[in-house]
Amino acid sequence: MGNNEKEQIVRDAMKKAGKPVRPGDIAKATGMESKEVSGIISELKKKALL
């Protein structure tokens, strides 16, 4: 799974939650590691996608 795919999965999980969520919550919902989710969120912020 590529980085863009993972970014989209994280964004979709955040939208689906409909409220602020922690990386650990997204990790549980997506099956990813919490550290990986945190890194993806950081990248999305750098790209101004969040």
pLDDT tens track for 13-26: 999 999 999 999 99
Continuous segment of H or E residues that includes residue 34: helix 34-46
Owning domain of residue 9: 3-46
The structural domain count of the chain equals 1
Question: What pLDDT score was predicted for residue 13?
Answer: 96
Structure tokens at 2: 């590529």
Question: What pLDDT score was predicted for residue 49?
Answer: 78
Question: What pLDDT score was predicted for residue 41?
Answer: 94
- Spatial separation of the C-alpha atoms in residues 25 and 47, rounded to whole Å: 22
Below-70 pLDDT ranges, the chain: none
Q: How far is CA 44 from the centre of its chain?
A: 8
